[in-house]
A = this chain, B = another copy of it.
Amino acid sequence: MDYPIGVIDSGVGGLTVARELMRQLPKENLIYVGDTLRCPYGPRPEAEVVEFTWDMVNFLLEKNIKMLVIACNTATAFTLEELKQKLDIPVVGVIEPGARAAIKTTKTNHIGVLGTEGTIRSHAYRKALKNINNELQIEGLACPAFAPMVEKGVVSGPLARQVIEEALTPLKDWKEMDTLILGCTHYPIIKPVIEEVIGESVDVISSGDETAREVSAILGFKRQLYEGDRPVSHQFYATGDTHLFMKIANMWLKQPVTEVGRIQLGSPQSI
């Protein structure tokens, strides 16, 4: 099926999901929309997140996407059910795939979740995990310093290590935890340092990687994967500074991004 997969995010974090989609589904075209002008969504009221998400969705629906990926934890928590009900195309969020992968991986049934304050406070991962298995022990830890640090490009070296070590100190008390979910799309960029800090006894699950896997599973299940051999072509759009977006995209993606469209979503007052 030769229609693109639509990917929406409040900003650049979802590029890690796009990167994995490109790797795991190298024949598929993507259209990525980052609402960089109005990010972060985390501190905004639910109604606003719903409105802004619909702005991105409506933009993509005009481009005939065959599937929608909500590559943003906050938007997933607030809009997934509504979008699943209202759209005719499959919709995949970023929370359940990470939860399912953790359930597959854990042997002790003790799972940790790292995320932004909003994601941890929403208990979205806890609900998704408990929905499948009531017996799980789950601990969430907000890491507010990580996403801004990653966007600044501090992703390795002594400073990154120090910030991550300090933030993850409470993990030392969760002796039984054998699986840790990276519940924020920025965190895969610092996954190597996180793994170094927490040691080999804990498996680190990246929600974004698992989301790409489930996109593959669902498109495969629906027989909607593209099976021809036209060249691949991705499109990127941002509501804010396109130069900054392009710079980050070129750092995070494994292929060059030479064009980013600047778009306006919603009314100018909504910023």
A interface with B by C-beta (< 8 Å)? 24-27, 84, 90, 92, 96-97, 100-101, 103-104, 131-135, 209, 212-214, 216-218, 220-221, 223, 225, 227, 229
Complex Cα spacing A135 to B229, Å: 12
Complex Cα spacing A212 to B26, Å: 25
Complex Cα spacing A26 to B92, Å: 23
Among residues of B, the one whose C-beta sits closest to the C-beta of A210 is B104
Q: Which of B84, B104, B213 contacts A209 (CB 8 A)?
A: B104
Given contacts A90-B221, A209-B104, A221-B90, contact A132 B96 (CB under 8 A): no
Query: What are 11 A-B residue pairs whose CB atoms fall within 8 Å in the complex?
Result: A24-B104, A27-B132, A92-B221, A96-B217, A100-B217, A101-B213, A104-B209, A104-B212, A132-B216, A132-B225, A214-B217
Complex Cα spacing A84 to B134, Å: 32
**Copies per complex?**
2
Complex Cα spacing A104 to B104, Å: 15
Complex Cα spacing A221 to B25, Å: 19
A93 shortest CB reach to chain B, Å:
10
Residues of B contacting A213 in the complex (Cβ-Cβ under 8 angstroms): 100-101, 104
Complex Cα spacing A220 to B103, Å: 13
Complex Cα spacing A218 to B84, Å: 14
Among residues of B, the one whose C-beta sits closest to the C-beta of A92 is B221
Complex Cα spacing A185 to B134, Å: 28
Complex Cα spacing A134 to B131, Å: 38
Complex Cα spacing A227 to B127, Å: 12
Among residues of B, the one whose C-beta sits closest to the C-beta of A104 is B213
A186 shortest CB reach to chain B, Å:
20
Residues of B contacting A225 in the complex (Cβ-Cβ under 8 angstroms): 131-132
Complex Cα spacing A221 to B101, Å: 14
